[in-house]
Amino acid sequence: QLQLVESGGGLVQPGGSLRLSCAASGFTLHHYAIGWFRQAPGKEREGVSCIDRSGDSTNYADSVKGRFTISRDNAKNTVYLQMNSLKPEDTSVYYCAAGPYYCSAYVSPKVYEYSYWGQGTQVTVSS
């Protein structure tokens, strides 16, 4: 069974940091582009970041650029999202997803481009 599992979410104060993990089983993660998405209550799911299969190309939404960093650890079959300087507006359920498409440095990842999805992990930024 192909599976993605997110972890690392939680409650953090504004200005704090979290590192989200996306671990794959049943397939080799480095054969896929990986996207991070988030969805807040009442809003559409939006692309946050992506990384291509080689790790050479990454993308960040304008709202998180300079604060979030995506990376791959192929030996552990895991992708990470380091989130620094968190803001209340970052509060969302965060999802990782795998797909066959190239991650452009200039175009945000789209939901329809991704085939495999995790269950999501809640990130709450509040004082």
Nearest-angstrom CA–CA distance, 31 and 20: 20
In a 13 Å sphere around the CA of 118, the CA atoms on its Cβ side amount to 26
Nearest-angstrom CA–CA distance, 50 and 21: 13
Q: What is the pLDDT of residue 38?
A: 98
Q: Is the pLDDT of residue 100 over 90?
A: no
Share of the chain above pLDDT 90, in %: 80
Q: Which residues have a Cβ under 8 Å from the Cβ of 37 and sit 6 or more positions away? A: 45, 46, 47, 48, 94, 95, 96, 97, 109, 111
pLDDT digits (tens, 9 = 90+) for 18-54: 999 999 988 888 889 999 999 999 999 999 999 998 8
Q: What is the mean pLDDT of residues 62-91?
A: 96
Q: Is the pLDDT of residue 1 over 80?
A: no
